[in-house]
Amino acid sequence: MTQQPLPEPTPARYQRSITDVISSPAPGRIPFSVEFMPPRNDEAETRLRTAAETFHDLGVAFVSVTYGAGGSSRDRTMRIAQDLARMPLTTLVHLTLVGHTEAELVEILSDYASLGLSNLLALRGDPPGADPLGEWTPVPGGYRYAEELIWLTKRLEATKHFQVGIAAFPEGHHQSESLAADTKYTLAKLRAGAEFSIITQMFFDVDYYLRLRDRLAAADAELGSRPIIPGIMPITSLKSVRRQLQLSGAKLPARLEERLVAAAAGDEEANRDEIRKVGIEESTLMAERLIAEGVPDLHFMTMNFARATQEVLHNLGMAPAWGREHGHDAVR
């Protein structure tokens, strides 16, 4: 008897759009979402899955998966994104232009479509190498701007149904000549077919977000009314926040830096719990103000850990406290 070949894995299906899930009723005060990074090894992958289960139980609106370029990292990104979608979690996949020709981008987009992953964050990406704020140069046969990736996505038969989001920069992109120029570039990406903006660059002063929202609305009332989702990175250590500031070019308000330095009291390691306490408190205050300002969703950058985000959500009245003594074993 001839053995029949095994069927191809069933792709993740019925992915709701990001604008749909953030406009639907949420279990808490406001929808929230989280960002994951492609894990580097099996241990890190297990940690990501545990965090994903926690957020699933807490009612997360959607999860995003940043893009890992390169063969093995790219494959792991695809697999993790598909697994999250099957959990099921509405999944937003990132794609950058870095190191890719147009033909390679078509192949990746087609792979996403075959897996049923229909929510895309279109990004130019940071230049390869040690300096993420350095000069950016496209590869031969590649693209220079994120809006070109949006056009490509909307032009391809396999992906024209994708809902596309873009990055926005509350403090302005470091390569923009001015905030006015940065606003123009953001609107160009929306005009190219993007349905929403998700802020993947962190900020630590809510006023920057509000000014961005006002600039976009003033420049184009229709496009400026599309959802602008603020990105929040809960602060857990001075070392990590300094590294993220270096990578992103974002600024830390003097008042916040003074609080964190005072909590460190000259010894960051010995006083890491106090630093974390201040960081979570400040992240909570930011979230409270953003909720009061009517944001559509809170997007947390998790570094593939659940604890810091759950602590902020608990302070907002949207999650149980962290720790077994608080019943955390009931929420993974």
The pLDDT tens digits for 280-319 are 999 999 999 999 999 999 999 999 999 999 999 999 999 9
Does residue 266 carry a pLDDT above 80? yes
Q: Is residue 258 part of a domain?
A: no
DSSP characters for 63-110?
A: EEE----SHHHHHHHHHHHHHHHHTT--EEEEEE-TT--HHHHHHHHH
Task: Name the pTM for this structure.
Answer: 0.90
The full 3-state SS of 13-74, as one line of letters, equals: CCCCCHHHHHHCCCCCCCCEEEEECCCCCHHHHHHHHHHHHHHHHHCCCEEEECCCCCHHHH
State the catalytic residue, choosing from 8, 35, 257, 288: 35
Mean pLDDT of 95-100: 91
Number of domains in the chain: 1
How high is the pLDDT of residue 81? 95
Tell me how far apart the alpha carbons of residues 46 and 269 are, in angstroms, rounded to a whole number: 27
Q: Is residue 267 part of a domain?
A: no
CATH number of the domain where residue 135 is located: 3.20.20.220
Mean pLDDT of 72-79: 80
Tell me how far apart the alpha carbons of residues 234 and 292 are, in angstroms, rounded to a whole number: 19
Residue 35 bears catalytic tag: yes
Does residue 274 carry a pLDDT above 70? yes
Q: Is residue 104 part of a domain?
A: yes
- Which residue range forms the structural domain that includes residue 159? 28-234+298-330
How high is the pLDDT of residue 289? 98
Nearest to 84 by CA among 44, 110, 55: 55
